[in-house]
Structure 1
Amino acid sequence: MHYSSLIPASLALCSLVSALNAPRQATNSTKYAVKTPPLTTPWTYLAGTNPWPQYPRPQLERPQWQSLNGIWTYQNASSLDAVNSPPYNQTLSNEVLIPSCLESGLSGLQGQYTIYSWLATSFSVPKTWAGNRTLLNFGAVDYEATVFVNGKNATFHRGGYFAFTVDVTEYLNTNGANELLVFVHDPTDSDPYVIPIGKQTLHPSHIFYTPCSGIWQSVWIESAPSDYITQLDIAAGMDGQINATVSSSGNASAAVQIAVIDRKTNKTVATHNGASNVQCTFSVPSVSLWSPDSPTLYDIAVTLGDDEISSYTGFRTISRGVVNGIERPLLNGEFIFQFGTLDQGFWPDGIYVPPNRDAMVFDLQTLKKLGFNMLRKHIKVESALYYQACDEMGLLIFQDMPALRPLQQHTLANCTVVTILPDAAQQAEFTRQLELLVVQQRNFPSIVTYIVYNEGWGQITTYYPEFGLTDIVKQLDPTRLVDSTSGWYDHGAGDFSVWCHVHDHGNMMYTYHAQDNHHYANPQCGSPFYSIASSPYDPSRIGIQGEFGGIGQNVSIEHLWNVQEAIDTINQTYEIDTTIEAWNYRGHRLLGELLDQVKMYSCSGGIWTQTTDVEGEVNGLLTYDRRVLRPDVAQWQADIQNLYTAASSRVNASMPAGSSGRL
């Protein structure tokens, strides 16, 4: 099957225009070249200087757009106060590739402690856009971005994982070049900041990795009329009903037309006339449903006045219900066993940024080949193109909220050691960014579950914020399940069940209550056995093995992250198998244990750790450079299929009353 994006001819033409109008290269800056990273991938030197030419936002596409990806210039800044003295009309000291992490080899910098940065380019607006608004879009900037256009402060954005748009029309020169200058502040885990960072740290060690600073997702401009579509929200259910809201830049309601198009025939199968800024509901007859086995997508065309955008959706319903006496996750009213990997989304050459789309899709294709139908996107948010690829392939996604500072402590003046947790303002900011996550991600059919907290990282325990946060997520998106606390501190919130997590980080053993089970290496999934000082499985919620496996197999230096501090932590891996044969044997035995728990108990899903090695971790299905695939493919395909078959056998032809599904 071919998984490449379906890009209309008009967008392909605009990609060519983008290349011809690529951002300028400075004449007096240190010239761009890939810095050799500690480990390369097959795509490291294929990224080029016109990276990520695809339209970056496939669920709200406009035909008139121009990529600003390419060679920008960079200069280190000394402090946060530097934002008050922008280097207008100056040549910054180094060329840099955008998008990229400033710490990566692909950036051309491979920087360290890039906490304050200036990034600059210039662009010209096509004359054919005259009379329209020009929108400047950023896929993501880590962590705070202050944007200047031609010497004017255009916007400020906080949050390293989320897209933002600003109308820059009033700042533009109608003829000639426009200067774009971005000040980036990324404190990561420096004091006193407690912000969403996932697994980034300024001091990498074993399960915490090199950080990503700067503009790490695509930048582009596009043309829109004076009253334009700012947001499209679509939820399409298994019954063919669509709930849609078309938000516009105008305050008043305006006429909107929505057309639903069958991708296979290119025929319009439904239209609806409504108004902007209010939810509308309509039905599409005889829809083909979206599922991992049949990931059918429908294209969407939306018209508001002179603004026309394209999007897509998939018809499916996510719910939960009692099936033969066991609480189960349901897709389209049916229980299917959800089995995937913990997917970190790190790259040795790009850190947070895959070298190109082919590299990104390679990981996903590998999971599909082995038989996985799901992945847990682990405390990171990817580009929209990633979720589009999962939508097209039929990969279910458990989407984590990026964690606050994890497992870090302060020593007080009285020598008391305390865990670093958010204060009231930092908790409010975490809540705001959780809301951004849900609003940004809720259109993707592949996302089935949101995870609020991972292993207690940044989770306050003097009160129980996960209850309120779960309510917020459910209010913003009532069409998904919520795993409120994946690992450790569970107090009963959310859709997934409680029992033990035992996690061994180095020589330190932590045992806590957990909402879904993280247990290395063997599983304890919906079972009547659990670990010390923990709670048993709660049959009123869904039982899932949130993390397990984690078995490692060391490799030769050419496939390792060649940083001595990382190599020194390899033996902290949960289990090391000295040969690939032993690794596959252990994988087979652990999957066999999970199979028994599917057959005998209440296990509804599992997440194997992990897709790839990362820096000092060697427990991936793939090595970090993506050059070695550890699994015996036939063995793993058979073991994974056995899980699905066993789960299916637990479901009788007729479901008992009360199992039709609920959220």
Structure 2
Amino acid sequence: MQLLRSFVFSFLAATAVARPGSGGRPEAAIQARGAKYALKEPPLTTPWTDKVGVDPWPEYPRPQMQRSQWQNLNGVWQYQNASSLSAVQNPPFGQDLGQEVLIPSCLESGLSGIQGSYTLYSWFSTSFQVPSEWKGDNLLLNFGAVDYEATVFVNGKKAGFHRGGYFRFTLDVTQYLKEGQENELLVFVHDPTDDGDYVIPIGKQTLRPSHIFYTPCSGIWQSVFIEPVQANHITGVDLDGNMDGQVNVTVHTTNMNVTTNVQVTVHENGDVVATHSGPSNQPFQFKVDSPKLWSPSSPNLYNVTVKMGKDLVQSYTGFRTISKGTVDGVVRPLLNGEFIFMFGTLDQGFWPDGIYTPPTKEAMVYDLQVLKSLGFNMVRKHIKVENELFYQACDELGLLVIQDMPALRPSQSKTLANCATEAILPDPAQQKEFTRQLELLINQHKSFPSIATWVIYNEGWGQITTYYPEFELTELVKQLDPTRLIDSTTGWYDHGAGDFSDNHHYANPQCGTPFYSINSSPYDETRIGFQGEFGGLGNNVSIEHLWNNQAAINTINQTYEIDTTIDAWNYRSHLLLSELEDQVKRFACSGGVWTQTTDVEGEVNGLMTYDRRLKRVDEDQWKSDIQALYKAASGRRNATMSSL
């Protein structure tokens, strides 16, 4: 891990235009007019709230495709609310938008300086200069994520449009630039969340927060940066290293119809261990001899350099193979050919000060470090997609990731003219858009070694049941990424698709067992028995650790179970973990997901409170109970295994 950090830092040190300590931020990018930015007091803070300042997220935001020259456009921008979707037809070019906003942030957050609600339509603006050293190069404008639709203008010209609140996009804005002058960047954002008839991927966001559904995030909530490139440049690098040392590579370029030679070099401890040349825009393979394998216990990573002409990008990979196989007559998940009991938490990724945007990288990684220190080897990223530094941290720490696709308008219904109610589900066009964004999820994240499983549907949310689209979607995901497992339907409407027979049950588990309850399906012995969610034990806390919103506080008693003391909470946790251990020994349980990492708004069932200031866990007890799960699984893995 230290090797990777050192390599990346030395690589980025070559940046010629960075202001010292700025992460490559040009001075002009944080200059704005209008009322000065100020943090707004959120309903709850974290230890990092006051550390954010006006230079947020200075880190290079794309760890698997890094270039040495870049400028960070994060900082204080201008903001103006817009009245409707038609506002995009009349952009406020050259105007003072009146308010300042911190980018990246959610407009609903205190960190944004706005802390708005129903921010469905918004304008954002800033300005930047292109360094003279970049003259003659094309300029890429990169957005980490904008929720939900972004229309981008540069110097009064429309430069592009993007739809999808969780995915990065890049625009070549070369033709719109003014050489040696300030360049105006204006962005119109439309984020309907669950307004009206919109059925879009939103995860747990809602305009009407209540208990397990939370404050939404609108706007530019991940980093923005620019970088110079050649006209034909690398646009993406797909990397997969398996347990046999085979490296599978596809280097995508601007001109997809032209094949160009690319060179890929793998480094370990500064030494070259393999180099290979191959064609762009086509998959090719080569071998690294006797690689050190990646696993939660040994998260070994190798630095990778990809070169095409003058374009040079830095990346990394880990060598591991994720599969399934039969061990002693039970279908199991396998890591590097051996049964691994995957155990982690449901990780919502919400923050009281930043909503979707963690206040700092340190804060984001802190959650993962807490999980790792307790002995968890996995985290389920629950119907949210994080910035890419999250997945890099999981790669470095050794935490497997079960990655959910954000759900379509979860668990909502509408009243028909005849007063009957029906679930809000996607129409054919909305289902097609869901499929397109599922493809983006896979293609943009399939090179992170830690990701072990893709989840398509959670608890039937947005899942059509008049036919079974999960079968077609499962085949699509397998085609896009044959190197991982697929949990097609975690909880509820399971019709047999995918690699997992996944049960959700609160509070106690039913993992690979001959018993099940309502909304679950009986264990299917042809697939992996898995406890996709359980636990959820609640323990109320004093107001200084609560989301200070009365509507949220009023829903606390909707928690699956309330334990009146910390001791009682740990006692009940021990019983449930012991019950899971017994199911591992007796039945076909191959892993589980405990609800959850932290409290969120009206939920008080986290290992930590929402502000991350209080841990509920008896650490010695939890460490012992988690190790007991692994020991029980180890006792089941000694028989003959056959691959599926």
* TM-score with structure 2 setting the length: 0.97
Residue deviations 1:327-365, cap 9 Å, x none? 000000000110000000000000001100110010000
CA contact (8 A) 1:455 1:488 kept: yes
Decide which of 262, 279, 288 is 1:256's aligned counterpart: 262
Instruction: State whether structure 2 residue 82 is matched by structure 1 residue 77.
Output: yes
CA distance in 1, matches of 2:391, 2:588: 30
CA distance in 2, matches of 1:532, 1:474: 30
CA distance in 1, matches of 2:474, 2:126: 41
Change in CA separation of 1:113 and 1:468 when aligned onto 2, cut-off 3 Å = same
> What residue in structure 2 maps to residue 590 of structure 1?
576
Change in CA separation of 1:3 and 1:549 when aligned onto 2, cut-off 3 Å = farther
For the residue of structure 2 that corresponds to 1:644, the secondary structure is helix
Change in CA separation of 1:22 and 1:358 when aligned onto 2, cut-off 3 Å = farther
CA distance in 1, matches of 2:210, 2:26: 43
Residue deviations 1:235-277, cap 9 Å, x none? 1100000110111112311111000001xx2101000011111
CA distance in 2, matches of 1:209, 1:13: 42
Decide which of 365, 369, 372 is 2:373's aligned counterpart: 369
The letter of the residue matching 1:612 is T
For the residue of structure 1 that corresponds to 2:29, the secondary structure is coil
> What residue in structure 2 maps to residue 174 of structure 1?
179
Change in CA separation of 1:593 and 1:147 when aligned onto 2, cut-off 3 Å = same
The letter of the residue matching 1:281 is Q
> What residue in structure 2 maps to residue 539 of structure 1?
525
CA distance in 2, matches of 1:344, 1:644: 24
CA distance in 2, matches of 1:329, 1:93: 55
For the residue of structure 2 that corresponds to 1:604, the secondary structure is strand
Shift of 1:312: 0.3
For the residue of structure 2 that corresponds to 1:8, the secondary structure is helix
> What residue in structure 2 maps to residue 125 of structure 1?
130
Extract unaligned runs of 5+ from structure 1. 498-515
CA distance in 1, matches of 2:259, 2:374: 49
Residue deviations 1:437-460, cap 9 Å, x none? 000110000000000000000000
Aligned-residue identity in percent: 68
> What residue in structure 2 maps to residue 408 of structure 1?
412
Shift of 1:13: 5.7
CA distance in 2, matches of 1:70, 1:522: 46
CA distance in 2, matches of 1:610, 1:104: 22
> What residue in structure 2 maps to residue 494 of structure 1?
498
> What residue in structure 2 maps to residue 297 of structure 1?
301
CA distance in 2, matches of 1:20, 1:376: 36
For the residue of structure 1 that corresponds to 2:212, the secondary structure is coil
Decide which of 302, 315, 318 is 1:314's aligned counterpart: 318
The letter of the residue matching 1:260 is V
Decide which of 542, 550, 560 is 1:556's aligned counterpart: 542
> What residue in structure 2 maps to residue 151 of structure 1?
156
CA distance in 2, matches of 1:440, 1:63: 21
Shift of 1:286: 1.1
CA distance in 1, matches of 2:36, 2:26: 20
CA contact (8 A) 1:22 1:69 kept: no
For the residue of structure 2 that corresponds to 1:16, the secondary structure is coil
> What residue in structure 2 maps to residue 86 of structure 1?
91
Q: Where do 1:27-106 residues align within 5 Å?
A: 27=33, 29-106=34-111
The letter of the residue matching 1:489 is Y
CA contact (8 A) 2:506 2:535 kept: yes
Instruction: State whether structure 2 residue 10 is matched by structure 1 residue 25.
Output: no
RMSD: 1.2
For the residue of structure 1 that corresponds to 2:479, the secondary structure is helix
Residue deviations 1:170-229, cap 9 Å, x none? 110111110000000000000110000000000000000000000000000001112100
For the residue of structure 2 that corresponds to 1:204, the secondary structure is coil
CA distance in 2, matches of 1:23, 1:418: 48
CA contact (8 A) 2:301 2:318 kept: yes
Shift of 1:232: 0.5
Instruction: State whether structure 2 residue 239 is matched by structure 1 residue 234.
Output: yes
CA distance in 2, matches of 1:534, 1:581: 31
Shift of 1:534: 5.2
CA contact (8 A) 1:3 1:393 kept: no
Residue deviations 1:489-541, cap 9 Å, x none? 111100001xxxxxxxxxxxxxxxxxx11100000000112125854211100
CA distance in 2, matches of 1:288, 1:558: 46
The letter of the residue matching 1:374 is M
Instruction: State whether structure 2 residue 614 is matched by structure 1 residue 606.
Output: no
The letter of the residue matching 1:206 is H
Shift of 1:8: 2.5
Shift of 1:12: 3.9
CA distance in 2, matches of 1:643, 1:594: 8
Shift of 1:380: 0.1
CA contact (8 A) 1:146 1:153 kept: yes
For the residue of structure 1 that corresponds to 2:25, the secondary structure is helix
The letter of the residue matching 2:265 is A
CA distance in 1, matches of 2:71, 2:416: 52
Change in CA separation of 1:620 and 1:411 when aligned onto 2, cut-off 3 Å = same
Shift of 1:48: 1.1
CA distance in 1, matches of 2:389, 2:5: 8
> What residue in structure 2 maps to residue 358 of structure 1?
362
Instruction: State whether structure 2 residue 428 is matched by structure 1 residue 427.
Output: no
CA distance in 2, matches of 1:78, 1:19: 32
CA contact (8 A) 2:305 2:313 kept: yes
CA distance in 2, matches of 1:151, 1:418: 45
CA contact (8 A) 2:143 2:170 kept: yes
> What residue in structure 1 maps to residue 12 of structure 2?
11
Q: How many residues align?
A: 637
CA distance in 1, matches of 2:294, 2:466: 42
Change in CA separation of 1:213 and 1:3 when aligned onto 2, cut-off 3 Å = farther
Instruction: State whether structure 2 residue 559 is matched by structure 1 residue 573.
Output: yes
CA distance in 2, matches of 1:534, 1:619: 22
CA distance in 1, matches of 2:403, 2:252: 25
TM superposition outliers: structure 1 runs of 4+ over 6 Å: 1-4
Shift of 1:23: 1.2
* TM-score with structure 1 setting the length: 0.95
The letter of the residue matching 1:348 is P
CA contact (8 A) 1:83 1:183 kept: yes
CA contact (8 A) 2:512 2:530 kept: yes
> What residue in structure 2 maps to residue 139 of structure 1?
144
CA contact (8 A) 2:581 2:628 kept: yes
Decide which of 380, 383, 387 is 1:383's aligned counterpart: 387
Shift of 1:20: 4.5
CA distance in 1, matches of 2:168, 2:518: 43
Shift of 1:16: 3.3
Of 73-82 and 249-258, more deviation after overlay is shown by: 249-258
The letter of the residue matching 1:205 is S
CA distance in 2, matches of 1:22, 1:44: 25
> What residue in structure 1 maps to residue 349 of structure 2?
345
Of 527-536 and 584-593, more deviation after overlay is shown by: 527-536
> What residue in structure 1 maps to residue 616 of structure 2?
630
CA contact (8 A) 2:491 2:520 kept: no
Shift of 1:24: 3.7
Change in CA separation of 1:282 and 1:65 when aligned onto 2, cut-off 3 Å = same
Shift of 1:21: 2.6
> What residue in structure 1 maps to residue 474 of structure 2?
470
Instruction: State whether structure 2 residue 239 is matched by structure 1 residue 245.
Output: no
Change in CA separation of 1:204 and 1:311 when aligned onto 2, cut-off 3 Å = same
For the residue of structure 2 that corresponds to 1:23, the secondary structure is helix
Decide which of 457, 460, 480 is 1:456's aligned counterpart: 460
CA contact (8 A) 2:235 2:252 kept: yes
For the residue of structure 1 that corresponds to 2:19, the secondary structure is helix
CA distance in 2, matches of 1:179, 1:318: 47
